[in-house]
Amino acid sequence: MAKAKRGRTPQGEYAGKTGVMSFRIRPDTKAALRNAAATSGRSLSQEAEHRLRRGLDQDETISSFWGDPKTFAMMRLAAQAVLSLGKVRDTEVHWTANVEAFDAAMEAIIGTLRVFRPLVATSLSTGSPEIGVPVLAILREAQAADPTRPLNKSTRRQRAMTRFKEHLGEELVDRAIDQIPTAAGRQKLRRKP
């Protein structure tokens, strides 16, 4: 005797679903998922499938196209450092079309990578002090990121910092923060012969 079908036949863009999963989620996560489903016009199940597939695909895309997540996270941080530079923000053309802005951006990228260099204390005294400030602020924000914070009590930026910290890894975040000299430390580095 064949089992009777339970529930209605799956509809929408993921109509071929046959597997069933049952798991617990926090109330704020469920509320956010319901809101997303209402906005997109998908059912709750379709929205969950869509979000899971997109998240899994994003991880695959990072690994296959952009390299490993740590490298991708460092490059995203370098991009933030570039965008925080006054010379880049204040130009009327894109920084890639302005020699001064390009040189400042290149220093920001190199300075960002320098803070992750293993085993060697980093000296930002050779570059612009602007380089360390935005990078340090982002790294401190990532260091404080809490993945258990309820969705309805966290901003999109805080959630992005949680993902950034996850991709970069706590070890690299801590190493970079330890290697960026404080303003007082930079002054001491400059005075050394």
Shared domain for 48 and 105, answered yes or no, is no
Higher confidence at residue 142 or residue 11? 142
Shared domain for 149 and 189, answered yes or no, is yes
End-of-domain residue from the set 67, 89, 110:
67
> What are the DSSP calls for 171-193, one per residue?
HHHHHHHHHS--HHHHHHHHH--
pLDDT digit string, tens, across residues 57-77? 666 655 566 677 888 888 888
Shared domain for 50 and 142, answered yes or no, is no
Look at residue 5 and tell me if it is in a domain: no
Look at residue 17 and tell me if it is in a domain: no
Shared domain for 49 and 129, answered yes or no, is no
> What are the DSSP calls for 108-131, one per residue?
HHHHHHHTT-SSS---GGGS-HHH
Helix (H, G, I), strand (E, B) or coil at 106: helix
Shared domain for 54 and 78, answered yes or no, is no
The total number of structural domains in the chain stands at 2
Shared domain for 63 and 73, answered yes or no, is no
- Residue recorded with tokens 């951006």: 105
Shared domain for 123 and 179, answered yes or no, is yes
Nearest alpha carbon to residue 30 among 12, 44, 19? 44
Domain enclosing residue 185, as ranges? 68-193
Shared domain for 122 and 63, answered yes or no, is no
**Average pLDDT of every residue of the chain:** 76
Shared domain for 139 and 152, answered yes or no, is yes
The Cβ of residue 188 has, within 10 Å, a number of other Cβ atoms equal to 11
pLDDT digit string, tens, across residues 27-62? 988 998 999 999 988 888 888 888 887 776 666 655
Shared domain for 63 and 80, answered yes or no, is no
Look at residue 22 and tell me if it is in a domain: no
Model confidence, pTM = 0.55
Shared domain for 63 and 127, answered yes or no, is no
8 A C-beta contact, residue 173 and residue 129: no
